[in-house]
């Protein structure tokens, strides 16, 4: 017994010091905790105020997005398959080997195009996506049918293409989504990949922290964070990515404060809109709304299970696991996320197997190059006059424009090919200095509305941002002549005989003797022939008959902002014009005498769908419809038998009208051509005014032909209908009078204004009294 007591006392004496130590440590921890809490309270209060201030206002600056026009596809419309495939890829459609089964998929062959259309949501237009089959043949759309029912559709409309964003300082691409818009699989994939205990912890995961602490101690530095979703939100939204203990402590404090102030669903929604998921050029891809479009070309709600796992897997390392960087790493990471989802009971084994076997098919990757830079500069200037920079870069406006990206691409490519062709054929045109290279510019318009469909202000925006369509002032040369001939219709007719004899006159205080560009042996030409062949001397004769003051009054009706010198040389295009204004003036011929106002902006929508700005077509009538038709007929002759007759040889055979232009010493080469559907102006020259030793027909016309051949979807092949007030007569081309039966050797049908048609029968050719009586009877009973 004594021995046992002694033993007991010894045990007791060894136990108490250990208990005392634990009590002492506990007191230190408690005291330290109270002290730390006391010391951190002011700082936590400061953080709380900062968080509340930041989250209570506008949480993100959303860049405004600029969109192209929509594209309408109709039965009977021309189609360029290669260009159409590029268009669909730019809209985010993905090619599949089999029939499209999901929105944003396509399958193209030589005879059929299967598309599962995206949703189309715009103000006044809300169309869900559905599958269609487009049958094509002989370069045109033969039929459009729904799949699988086969219902014929007269037309379908493709969504607009995103062309540009107005970034702020942060350069972030982001499309905000609500948690309700995110599919269940995406939410579960994010939780499985990043924070499986998100809905049970209070901002910090003690086990994750201990695991990260162990790994960091093992490696002698911070290599693992153990961060919860709330901590990641705190870091991304408020802190830098610098790995220090101070930053980590701040992250934990902010996470705890966020958890006390906001519901779990709010936190998760903010996280899904904030998280970094990749890079496009200099802009970051933030949030799952943007990532869904960037990687898969679809809205977040349309993502498949496999795609949800891919996006969730990107959080760990977007550069390493991006499907654009390499399918192997991406697939392995996706499968790991899917396995985690299955392990946590979020998906079934069958869903796991199906998703892991699915191919990762991405939307076509488009480089971050600036699209249509000259067009966008012109548009941006208008927008900056309407909205301050912070609105454009932060308020998420949707800006809808007139640009047709297929036409824009065709214009840029035709210009580049045309200039390269000239330089290759004529090496003397090459310049090593980028600022002195041969230049060109193209603008394409809808002649009736004035909408600018494409604009290329130079051959290389990187080398020169000077917009030669809107900013340059160049002599138009013979491209100005249509306004002389329009004035001439007041005193002459298309059949009027004009003199080709040389003459000397005063122009600008000096003697001026105009010459033809090339030798024209005929002493006389009709007004139609004169314009078609661009003869200078006959044009001067017409100008003298009409009067310079009349010509200037006529030209000013077309709103040229540059001065027109009242000298004879002005008649041949010596006065400078702005190319866009010249293109606009030609639109009046194609639109039946109505002069439209060129525009690029259609409407501006705020992030709530409200219309902030709506462009209404603005136009004024400058010439009667009958005169416009006569001009179209005269300019048609330029293409069929005049200086632009080379169009047919270059593969463009649709009815068209236009005028070439070449200035003195061949400093400028022009072609302005149009159909009832589309008008395009092409200019070629050196900025410094050096001679290009080419004409409008050899330098500008081939570019125009190349462009128009590339956009069959924009051309109907139709021609202008003859309006009231225009009549057709058969005339003698030598006298300009009514043809005398079989007596006049050169006859032609000619159009006239009804009140200016000739009534005299040809006096140059006589066939006897019987023939004259017959001709007079014919004209009496057939005045039209």
How many Å apart are CA 181 and CA 443, to the nearest integer? 42
Q: Which two tokens mark 287?
A: 């949030």
Block residue for tokens 């051509």: 673
Candidates 105, 172, 194, 307; catalytic one: 194
194 is an active site residue: yes
Q: Which two tokens mark 192?
A: 């499985």
DSSP states of 318-354:
HHHH-TTT-HHHHHHHHHHHHHHHHHTTSS-HHHHHH
How many Å apart are CA 639 and CA 673, to the nearest integer? 9
- Residue 629, helix vs strand vs coil: helix
Q: Which two tokens mark 744?
A: 């006049």
How many Å apart are CA 186 and CA 190, to the nearest integer? 6
Pairing state of beta strands 452-456 and 497-499?
unpaired
- Residue 688, helix vs strand vs coil: coil
Candidates 306, 322, 398, 478; catalytic one: 478
Cβ count within 10 A of residue 361: 19
351 is an active site residue: no
How many H-runs (helices) and E-runs (strands) does the chain carry? 24, 30
Pairing state of beta strands 439-445 and 679-685?
antiparallel
- Residue 115, helix vs strand vs coil: strand
How many Å apart are CA 6 and CA 2, to the nearest integer? 6
Q: Which two tokens mark 618?
A: 């603005």
Longest dimension (CA), the chain: 168
How many Å apart are CA 650 and CA 701, to the nearest integer? 9
Helices (H), 435-526: 481-488
Gyration radius (Cα) of the chain, Å: 37
**Is 699 in contact with 684 (CB distance < 8 Å)?**
yes
**Is 314 in contact with 305 (CB distance < 8 Å)?**
no
How far from each other are the two terminal CA atoms of the chain, in whole angstroms? 146
Supply the residues annotated as catalytic: 194, 478
């Amino acid at each position: 017994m004594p021995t046992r007591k002694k033993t007991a006392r010894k045990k007791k004496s060894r136990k108490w010091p250990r208990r005392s130590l634990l009590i002492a440590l506990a007191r230190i921890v408690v005291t330290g905790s109270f002290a730390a809490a006391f010391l951190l309270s002011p700082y936590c209060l400061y953080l709380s105020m900062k968080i509340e201030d930041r989250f209570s206002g506008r949480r993100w600056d959303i860049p405004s997005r600029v969109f192209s026009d929509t594209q309408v596809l109709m039965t009977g419309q021309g189609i360029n398959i290669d260009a159409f495939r590029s268009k669909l890829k730019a809209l985010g459609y993905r090619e599949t080997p089999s029939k499209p089964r999901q929105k944003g998929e396509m399958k193209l062959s030589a005879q059929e195009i299967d598309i599962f259309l995206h949703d189309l949501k715009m103000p006044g237009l809300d169309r869900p996506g559905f599958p269609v089959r487009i049958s094509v043949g002989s370069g045109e759309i033969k039929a459009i049918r729904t799949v699988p029912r086969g219902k014929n559709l007269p037309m379908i409309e493709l969504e607009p293409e995103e062309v540009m964003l107005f970034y702020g300082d942060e350069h972030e691409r982001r499309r905000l989504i609500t948690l309700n818009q995110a599919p269940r699989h995406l939410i579960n994939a994010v939780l499985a990949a990043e924070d499986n205990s998100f809905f049970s912890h209070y901002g910090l995961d003690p086990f994750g922290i201990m695991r990260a602490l162990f790994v960091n101690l093992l490696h002698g530095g911070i290599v693992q964070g153990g961060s919860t979703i709330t901590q990641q939100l705190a870091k991304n939204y408020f802190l830098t990515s610098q790995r220090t203990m101070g930053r980590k402590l701040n992250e934990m404090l902010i996470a705890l404060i966020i958890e006390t102030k906001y519901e779990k669903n709010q936190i998760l929604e903010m996280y899904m809109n904030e998280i970094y998921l990749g890079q496009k050029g200099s802009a970051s891809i933030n949030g799952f709304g943007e990532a869904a479009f960037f990687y898969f070309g679809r809205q977040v709600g349309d993502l498949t299970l496999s795609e949800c796992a891919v996006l969730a897997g990107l959080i760990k390392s977007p550069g390493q696991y991006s499907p654009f960087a390499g399918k192997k790493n991406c697939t392995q990471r996706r499968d790991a996320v899917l396995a985690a989802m299955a392990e946590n009971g979020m998906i079934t084994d069958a869903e796991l197997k199906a998703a892991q076997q699915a191919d990762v098919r991405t939307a076509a990757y488009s480089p971050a190059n600036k699209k249509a830079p000259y067009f966008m500069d012109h548009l941006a200037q208008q927008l900056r006059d309407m909205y301050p920079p912070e609105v454009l870069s932060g308020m998420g406006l949707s800006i809808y424009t007139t640009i047709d990206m297929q036409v824009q691409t065709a214009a840029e490519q035709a210009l580049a090919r045309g200039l390269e062709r000239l330089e290759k054929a004529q090496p003397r045109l090459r310049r090593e200095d980028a600022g002195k290279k041969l230049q060109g510019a193209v603008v394409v318009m809808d002649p009736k509305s004035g909408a600018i469909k494409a604009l290329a202000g130079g051959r290389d925006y990187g080398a020169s941002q000077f917009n030669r369509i809107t900013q340059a002032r160049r002599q138009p040369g013979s491209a100005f002549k249509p306004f002389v001939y329009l004035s001439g219709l007041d005193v002459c007719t298309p059949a009027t005989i004009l003199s080709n004899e040389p003459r000397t006159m005063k122009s600008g205080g000096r003697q001026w003797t105009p010459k033809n560009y090339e030798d024209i042996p005929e002493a006389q030409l009709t007004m139609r022939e004169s314009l078609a062949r661009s003869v200078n001397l006959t044009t001067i004769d017409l100008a003298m008959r009409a009067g310079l003051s009349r010509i200037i009054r006529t030209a000013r009706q077309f709103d040229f902002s540059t001065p027109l010198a009242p000298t004879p040389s002005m008649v041949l295009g010596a006065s400078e014009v702005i190319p866009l204004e010249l293109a606009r003036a030609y639109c009046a011929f194609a639109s039946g005498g109505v002069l439209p106002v060129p525009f690029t902006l259609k409407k501006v929508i705020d992030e709530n769908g409200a219309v902030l700005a709506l462009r209404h077509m603005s136009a004024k009538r400058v010439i009667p419809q009958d005169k416009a038709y006569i001009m179209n007929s005269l300019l048609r002759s330029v293409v069929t038998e005049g200086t632009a007759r080379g169009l047919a040889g270059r593969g463009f055979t649709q009815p068209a009208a236009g005028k070439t232009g070449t200035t003195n010493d061949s400093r400028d080469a022009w072609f302005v051509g149009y159909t009832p559907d589309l008008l395009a102006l092409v200019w070629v020259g050196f900025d410094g005014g050096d001679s290009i030793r080419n004409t409008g027909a050899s330098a500008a016309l081939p570019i125009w032909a190349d462009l128009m051949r590339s956009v069959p979807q924009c051309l109907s092949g139709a021609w202008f209908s003859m309006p009231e007030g225009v009549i057709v007569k058969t005339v003698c081309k030598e006298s300009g009078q009514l043809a005398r039966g079989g007596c006049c050797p050169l006859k032609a049908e000619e159009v006239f204004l009804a009140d200016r048609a000739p009534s005299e029968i040809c006096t140059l050719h006589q066939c006897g009294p019987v023939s004259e009586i017959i001709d007079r009877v014919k004209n009496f009973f057939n005045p039209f």
